[in-house]
């Protein structure tokens, strides 16, 4: 029997009742919240990226690998609308990795660290004994912004479902150079009251499904409103690409209609924000296609354990 | 050209002047300190452990791997005498890993988490596509105790050099089941003023060398005073084993002689604390052997990049 990542996460979460006072947000959101003392919380996320899975070092550079490792964690900060504070990085090197290669990796890490003001404060380097592959883990700390941190679990029936940017085809290149939506998340949260948010890592359907499950809601998506990337447009199945390719690292969020109107009115970023559907009380995800037909939508995005 | 881990760490540290107000302790100590807001700091450490390097899953169980991954980070908390608060864990699984195996891993993680009151609050699971090996990363947060956090850089000429427990032969089994000295570190710091501390991960000579380099001191060790483990006693070269095997995860610390006397007077743990030498101003490490000879001591412990 093999589990999906979501099943494993649910199992881990069920093992333990974390004290809600001390850990207001725990396993199953983009970051865990830890109350350090009265009035002060930190947020933490961890992600391991593997050569051959999250990038392919036969084609991608080490700068790109370092940048992506940081950007994935920065995207988790964006998903909760919290402020990145510092990162620590751990790398496992294949035999024969040299100083020159580490410097390239470091350049990529620092590119993201500098751009998003999230310094590298510590790390750990270890080496495989044989021909195993390069792996990199980033753990990132964040602090709350002026807004409350935004969880996955707050979506309400009637909410507008929105995404930033365009979706699909990230595997063709964007996944190595995407901009984590840290600044946009802050901007959105400062304009409007957002009820639920997540970053699209495994695919629109998979990540929307997480919001629905944790908010105990359903969702109705309008296929024609989904903003397709150029890469998705050129693909054989543009809609399928936008729904399930994953690694878009765009924001997926829900908010009441009046809050959505407020957001659109004040939104002056060049990055589009698009309403793609509505949160429902049906308990299931559905999609309305161009011909008006309503279909059930299954989470079928990229599963790291797939 | 291949670098040692210490060379790489020094290079990383040199790339960046971290703001000392915001990051009072940065790259090159057991944990990095991050000032979250006025008056509140957190500490963070990250370590990746690899199958075939830090344990061998043909012989070790997954419980042992999970326990060790947590215990290594807990030992970093001990090294600074700070209080573990929470951990996040990231694992990379070989193909075909099943739910049963993840539960075993989880058991090991929770054994350490429960024993040292450091809950698992989040994580990430990913899977290799081929036959690569299991890897696990733990990032751990800590907070300051009543004492000040203890750095590597505070040793002073004249300080007594002390270790907890016994050294050598950890690879025969102790490395999978050691007790991180979290409680003992608190106890030591509450009794006496400790000037510098580190946990022995790469070996007494390597880790003492880190204290000396960062404190800009030398050290004189008395070979006869080094407490040998039973495993070291039985080995062909007991002294060599205690000096360089590594993964003892005992505390190595320095303090003024009057503070040492205070510590010994009030120390009522069953775990021995032994004075093994003196911090000097020679700038080099030396060892006095049983025949009275003085030799230079080179850091030769286990290097993860060796």
pLDDT by residue (tens digit) across A30-89? Answer: 899 998 887 789 999 999 999 999 999 999 999 999 999 999 999 999 999 999 999 999
Written as six digits, the tokens of A77 are 């900060």
Task: Give percent of chain B above pLDDT 90.
Answer: 75
* Distance, CA of A267 to CA of A252 (rounded, Å): 16
Residue range A160-296, CATH number: 3.90.650.10
* Distance, CA of B21 to CA of B89 (rounded, Å): 29
Q: Which of A40, A123, A139 to mutate to test the interface with B (most CBs of B within 10 A)?
A: A139
| CA dihedral of A65, A70, A74, A76, whole degrees rounded to 10 | 70
pLDDT of the residue at A100: 85
* Distance, CA of B70 to CA of B51 (rounded, Å): 15
What 3-state DSSP class applies to A85? strand
Q: Which of B52, B108, B137 to mutate to test the interface with A (most CBs of A within 10 A)?
A: B137
A42/B99 Cβ within 8 A: no
Lowest mean pLDDT segment, chosen from A56-70, B44-58, B84-98: B84-98
Say which DSSP state A152 is in: S
pLDDT of the residue at A123: 85
Does the pLDDT of residue A301 top 80, yes or no?
no
Written as six digits, the tokens of A174 are 């964007």
* Distance, CA of A86 to CA of A139 (rounded, Å): 9
Options 1.10.3720.10, 3.30.1330.10, 1.10.1740.10, 3.40.50.12780; CATH of B14-144: 3.30.1330.10
Which of chain B's residues have a Cβ under 8 Å away from the Cβ of A305?
93, 125-127
Does the pLDDT of residue A302 top 60, yes or no?
no
Domain with CATH 3.30.1330.10 in chain A: 9-144
Give the pLDDT mean for A5-20: 67
Does the pLDDT of residue B306 top 60, yes or no?
no
Nearest CA to CA, how far is A123 from chain B (Å)?
Answer: 6
Does the pLDDT of residue A1 top 60, yes or no?
no
pLDDT band at B16 (very low <50, low <70, confident <90, very high): low
The total number of residues written for chain A in this structure:
306
The alpha-helical segments, DSSP class H, found in A147-181 are 174-177
* Distance, CA of A36 to CA of B44 (rounded, Å): 13
Give the pLDDT mean for B250-277: 97
* Distance, CA of B280 to CA of A144 (rounded, Å): 46
pLDDT of the residue at A40: 86
The alpha-helical segments, DSSP class H, found in chain B are 5-14, 62-80, 99-115, 174-177, 182-191, 204-215, 230-234, 238-244, 257-266
Residue whose token pair is 């060599």: B240
Domain with CATH 3.90.650.10 in chain B: 160-296
Written as six digits, the tokens of B46 are 């990250």
Say if strands A273-280 and B32-37 run parallel, antiparallel, or are unpaired: unpaired
- The number of helix segments (H) and strand segments (E) in chain A equals 9, 12
Of A12, A37, A126, the CB nearest to B123: A12
pLDDT band at A278 (very low <50, low <70, confident <90, very high): very high
pTM, whole model, 2 decimals? 0.93
Give the pLDDT mean for B89-110: 89
A37/B143 Cβ within 8 A: yes
Evaluate whether B106 touches A12 at the Cβ level (below 8 Å). yes
pLDDT by residue (tens digit) across A282-299? Answer: 999 999 998 999 999 988
pLDDT of the residue at B73: 97
Any bridge partners for residue B138, and if so which? B47, B89
Give the pLDDT mean for B113-133: 89
pLDDT of the residue at B131: 76
The second-level CATH assignment, the architecture, of A9-144 is 2-Layer Sandwich (3.30)
Nearest CA to CA, how far is A77 from chain B (Å)?
Answer: 14
Does the pLDDT of residue B18 top 90, yes or no?
no
Give the pLDDT mean for A141-154: 93
Give the pLDDT mean for B206-228: 96
What average pLDDT does chain A have?
A: 91
pLDDT of the residue at B130: 81
Degrees, nearest 5: CA angle A12-A17-A20: 120
pLDDT of the residue at A177: 96
Give the number of beta-carbon pairs within 8 Å between A and B: 225
A89/B121 Cβ within 8 A: no
Residue whose token pair is 């629109």: A204
pLDDT by residue (tens digit) across B19-49? Answer: 666 677 777 788 999 988 877 899 999 999 9
* Distance, CA of A123 to CA of A292 (rounded, Å): 53
Of B9, B89, B121, the CB nearest to A34: B121
Does the pLDDT of residue B51 top 50, yes or no?
yes
Residues 6+ apart with CB under 8 A from B233: none
pLDDT of the residue at B305: 41
pLDDT by residue (tens digit) across B163-186? Answer: 999 999 999 999 999 999 999 999
* Distance, CA of A67 to CA of A76 (rounded, Å): 14
pLDDT by residue (tens digit) across B223-249? Answer: 999 999 999 999 999 999 999 999 999
Does the pLDDT of residue B300 top 70, yes or no?
yes
Task: Give percent of chain B above pLDDT 70.
Answer: 91
B122/A27 Cβ within 8 A: yes
Lowest mean pLDDT segment, chosen from A235-249, B74-88, B95-109: B95-109
Lowest mean pLDDT segment, chosen from A9-23, A139-153, B80-94, B109-123: A9-23
pLDDT of the residue at A17: 62
pLDDT of the residue at A13: 66
B23/A86 Cβ within 8 A: yes
Residue A244 CB burial class (10 angstroms; 0-12, 13-18, ≥19): buried
pLDDT of the residue at B60: 96
Task: Give percent of chain A above pLDDT 70.
Answer: 91
pLDDT of the residue at B43: 95
Does the pLDDT of residue A99 top 50, yes or no?
yes
Does the pLDDT of residue B12 top 70, yes or no?
no
Of A31, A129, A132, the CB nearest to B132: A132
pLDDT band at A305 (very low <50, low <70, confident <90, very high): very low
B91/A127 Cβ within 8 A: no
pLDDT of the residue at B13: 66
Q: What are phi and psi of B74, to 5 degrees?
A: -60, -35
What average pLDDT does chain B have?
A: 91
């Amino acid at each position: 029997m093999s589990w999906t990542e979501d099943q494993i996460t649910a199992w881990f979460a069920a093992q333990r009742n974390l004290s809600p006072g001390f850990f207001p947000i725990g396993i199953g959101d983009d970051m865990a919240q830890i109350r350090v003392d009265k009035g002060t919380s930190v947020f933490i996320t961890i992600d391991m990226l593997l050569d051959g899975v999250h990038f392919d070092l036969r084609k991608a550079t080490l700068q790109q690998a370092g940048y992506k490792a940081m950007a994935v964690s920065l995207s988790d900060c964006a998903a909760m609308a919290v402020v990145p504070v510092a990162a620590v990085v751990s790398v496992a090197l294949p035999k024969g990795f040299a100083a020159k290669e580490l410097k390239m990796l470091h350049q990529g890490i620092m590119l993201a660290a500098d751009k998003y003001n999230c310094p590298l404060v510590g790390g750990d380097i270890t080496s495989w004994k044989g021909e195993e592959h390069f792996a990199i883990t980033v753990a990132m700390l964040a602090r709350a912004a002026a807004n409350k941190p935004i969880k996955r679990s707050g979506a309400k029936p009637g909410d507008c479902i929105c995404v930033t940017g365009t979706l699909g085809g990230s595997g063709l290149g964007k996944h190595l150079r995407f901009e984590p939506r840290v600044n946009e998340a802050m901007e959105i949260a400062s304009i409007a009251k957002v009820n639920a948010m997540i970053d699209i890592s495994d695919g629109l359907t998979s990540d929307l499904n997480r919001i629905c499950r944790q908010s105990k809601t359903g969702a109705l998506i309008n296929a024609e409103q989904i903003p397709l990337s150029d890469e998705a447009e050129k693909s054989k199945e543009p809609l399928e690409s936008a729904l399930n390719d994953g690694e878009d690292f765009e924001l997926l969020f829900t908010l009441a209609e009046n809050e959505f109107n407020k957001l659109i009115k004040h939104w002056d970023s060049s990055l589009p924000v698009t309403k793609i559907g509505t949160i429902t009380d049906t308990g299931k995800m559905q999609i309305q296609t161009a011909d008006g037909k309503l279909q059930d939508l299954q989470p079928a995005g990229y599963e790291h354990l797939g």
